Amino acid sequence: MKKKLIFASLAVVLIFVVALTKQQISNTAITIGKELPVVGTAENFEEILKEIEKKQQSFAKAMPAMEMSMDGAGLKSDTATSSGGSDHSTTNVQVDGVDEADRVKNDGSFIYQLRDNELVISKVNPVDEMTVVYSESFSYDDFHPYEMYVDEEHLVLIGMRPMYDAKGYYHKEFTQVKVYQLNERHNLELVREAEIEGYYSSSRKINDQMYIITNKYLPYHLLREDNSGEKVVLDEMKPTFRDTAHSEELQMVDWEKIYYFPESTEGNYLIVSGMDLGDLKKPISVSTYLGAGNTIYASTEHLYITRTHHLFEETTREKIAALIFNPSTNQETLIYKFRLNKGEATFLAEGKVEGALLNQFSMDEHNGHFRIATTNGNMWSESNPSENLLFVLNSKLEEVGSIRGIAPGERIFSARFMGDRGYIVTFKQVDPLFVLDLKDPTNPNILGELKIPGFSDYLHPYDENHLIGFGKDTEENDSGGAMVRGFKMALFDITDVNNPKEKFVEIIGDSGTHSELLYNHKALLFSKAKNIIGFPIDVYENTNNNQRSMYPSISFQGAYVYGLDLDEGFQLKTRITHYDTAVISDNNWDYQKHISRLIYIGDNLYTLSNSKIEAHDLNSFEKKGQIQFGK
């Protein structure tokens, strides 16, 4: 019986592989170079979705047979706020001039904060007059705010509004935008609402132009007959939107205005919407594509949306058995490029590169070229080890240069591009930092490399010759692997690009110590001028007579604030907590008291949690005031 299962598995895989070999995997970036085709009609839409479903099912059907052949053993799968122009901090963003939404904003006098499902505006300057001037709570059934933008005239909330059917069941999700006039902080005026069907992916704001990216899932079962034997109306699968600048009613996007990416295998809608906050009477622009995208990068002129998916490498008959027992984990990343202008996003080009993208910092636009760093393969596989790659693409998303084979057997943990240089951190057992020369787009190369314990999850530029890495310390174990230890902050000296150095290191806590900064750059407060490096952190430490335990206990939650001297290193200035005691444990753990953001206004430092806002002198760190929120 087992032999029959194996034979059946080989047959299924052979059919699957033959089908795949008809579509050879490109090893370089490509560009479509033509206008995207339009869905056009409901009939075309149905046919396109059926083709997409077939592609997805061909892989899904092959997998169970492969699993059966392995005697029941399933296949293993891989599983800042920065200084602004005035004397107050602003959200730490990737690109100057391109704002990113966050749960906390400030304008130098007021702090705007989302705490759970409530918007709170507090006057905090001067500190002896700190008080809440406005609050608005939202029902989770009506609206759940995720993040916001604030400028001189408007406050914009972006969140989710669920929709329920007649029986009260969850039906679909809308991304909702609420625009408030900021003439009177104590009495906000809601001047506009818009909502786009789909879940919120990300957004950017350039001056008074805001762009929102959403994705809407398409349930294939709606194409099949329901219990009554009648098909659903295909028009019900069109994405909908509403904009009070045009109408209070939901509008459907016409089939003639829905485009599709021919190479996409995603049965989703990717929707790019633009709003001109300088002209609130101008209707929202809604561009709809049959496809998907989840990681974005934006310059002041262009938007890049990417989507990564798995591939099976082209193989021969001799490789089929290996494919069953060790399937390829090769991936490719699709890139969609849009021009941003006056609140409208216009599609320009499509390309693709080998490998999977880590996050937005793996992408960058510079002098007309797009740089992107990826990881391809499986870092734990001997037959298909991972490699890291750097691609340079031109304005049409055609490859003009690349670096291949960076740190074989490892994967990218962080990346940062700064002008003509790029920096990549990979990891498996040690933390190599690679310095890349990108001055000549057609001939990028590695200038230098540094191998040290640990890894950096986020790289932040200090100046032209120094980087600060935030990540984790590691220690080699008896089996030759790496054990993750405490939070690590390191200063990299790249004055000599051929010989980068780890100049200073600061380790906080032990295993389990973590910070939102490691996965969200907006949690960082950094100002070189004020000599501030601040971030929220949960500190776990061993309490077993200085003997390392497998399960360290939480000992502190709050904010660490450092200074940095290029001769002396990191200097801990203060630790601030919103708990009543400096030392906490599992017994008095309270999420509402967890500090999530730090900002500064003038000579005052503010720490924010759901329970309070505290103000401290930025030099002495003496507490000067607070606002205590009710439960």
Tens digits of per-residue pLDDT, 488-529? 999 999 999 999 999 999 999 999 999 999 999 999 999 999
Summarize pLDDT for 71-88 with one digit per residue, the tens.
333 333 333 455 444 699
pTM for the whole thing? 0.87
Q: What percent of the chain has pLDDT over 70?
A: 79
**What is the edge-to-edge ordering of all strands in the sheet holding 104-106?**
104-106, 110-115, 118-123, 131-137
Q: Which residue spans within 66-197 are E strands per DSSP?
A: 81-83, 89-90, 104-106, 110-115, 118-123, 131-137, 144-150, 154-164, 170-181, 189-197
**Per-residue pLDDT averaged across 612-629, rounded?**
98
**To which residue do tokens 């310095």 refer?**
435
What is the number of other CB atoms lying within 10 angstroms of the CB of residue 476? Answer: 12
- The phi-psi region of residue 116 (left if phi > 0; otherwise alpha if psi is between -120 and 50; otherwise beta) is left
Q: Is the peptide bond before 536 cis (omega within 30 degrees of 0)?
A: no
Nearest C-alpha neighbor of 606 from the set 595, 590, 620: 595
Task: Give me the mean pLDDT over the 358-383 stretch.
Answer: 90
**From residue 625, how far is each of 101, 192, 618 by CA, in Å?**
27, 35, 13
pLDDT for 355 beyond 60: yes
Residue 545 has pLDDT above 90, yes or no: no
The predicted structure's pLDDT at residue 224: 56
Cα–Cα nearest to 627, from 181, 134, 146: 134
Provide DSSP, 2-40. HHHHHHHHHHHHHHHHHHHHTSPPPSS-----SPPPB--
Using the predicted structure, report yes or no on whether residue 605 has a pLDDT greater than 80: yes
Distance CA 455, CA 469 (A): 8
Which region among 136-140, 448-452, 548-552, 585-589 has the lowest average model confidence (pLDDT)?
A: 548-552
Between 390 and 18, the more confident residue is 390
**Dmax (CA) of the chain:** 81
Write the pLDDT tens digit of every residue in 417-468.
Answer: 999 999 999 987 566 899 999 999 999 999 999 998 889 999 999 999 999 9
CB 258 within 8 A of CB 45: yes
With a cut of 60, say whether residue 470 has pLDDT above it: yes
More confident residue, 317 or 501: 501
The tokens describing 544, both together, are 């077993």
Percent over 90 (pLDDT), the chain: 67
Beta strands 525-527 and 81-83, pairing class: parallel
| Banded model confidence at residue 69, pLDDT cuts 50, 70, 90 | very low
**Per-residue pLDDT tens digits for 119-145:** 999 999 999 999 999 999 999 889 999
Of the two residues 17 and 86, the one the predictor is more confident about is: 86
What CA–CA distance (Å, rounded) separates 285 from 269? 15
Per-residue confidence (pLDDT) for residue 86, from 0 to 100: 62
The residues pairing with 296 across neighbouring beta strands, listed in sequence order, are 305
Report the pLDDT value the prediction gives residue 343, as an integer from 0 to 100.
95
Rounded Cα gap, residues 398 and 53, in angstroms: 29
Mean pLDDT taken over the chain: 85
Which range among 193-207, 252-266, 430-444, 477-491 shows the weakest confidence by mean pLDDT?
Answer: 477-491
pLDDT, tens digit (0-9, with 9 covering 90-100), for 214-243: 999 887 665 655 555 455 678 888 999 999
Under the banding of pLDDT at 50, 70 and 90, the label for residue 581 is: confident
Using the 8-state DSSP alphabet, how is residue 310 labeled?
E
- Confidence band of 19 (pLDDT split at 50, 70, 90): very low
Mean pLDDT computed over 95-101: 98
pLDDT tens column, 176-196: 999 999 999 999 999 999 999
As a whole number of angstroms, the distance between CA 504 and CA 467 comes to 11
Alpha-carbon distance values, 49 to 25, 59, 267, 290, 312 (Å): 22, 16, 7, 9, 22
With cut-offs at 50, 70 and 90, classify the pLDDT of residue 114: very high
Instruction: Render pLDDT for 84-95 as a digit per residue (tens, 0 to 9).
Output: 446 999 999 999
Residue 543: band (very low, low, confident or very high) from pLDDT cuts 50, 70, 90: confident
Residue 428 contacts residue 409 (beta carbons within 8 Å): yes
Amino acid letter for position 463: D
| Mean pLDDT along residues 606-620 | 98
Find all residues with CB under 8 Å of 329, minimum gap 6, and list them. Answer: 78, 310, 377, 378, 381, 384
Lowest mean pLDDT among 30-39, 96-105, 252-261, 520-529: 30-39
Q: What pLDDT does residue 166 have?
A: 55
Query: For residue range 267-287, what is the model confidence (pLDDT) as tens digits?
Result: 789 999 999 999 999 999 999
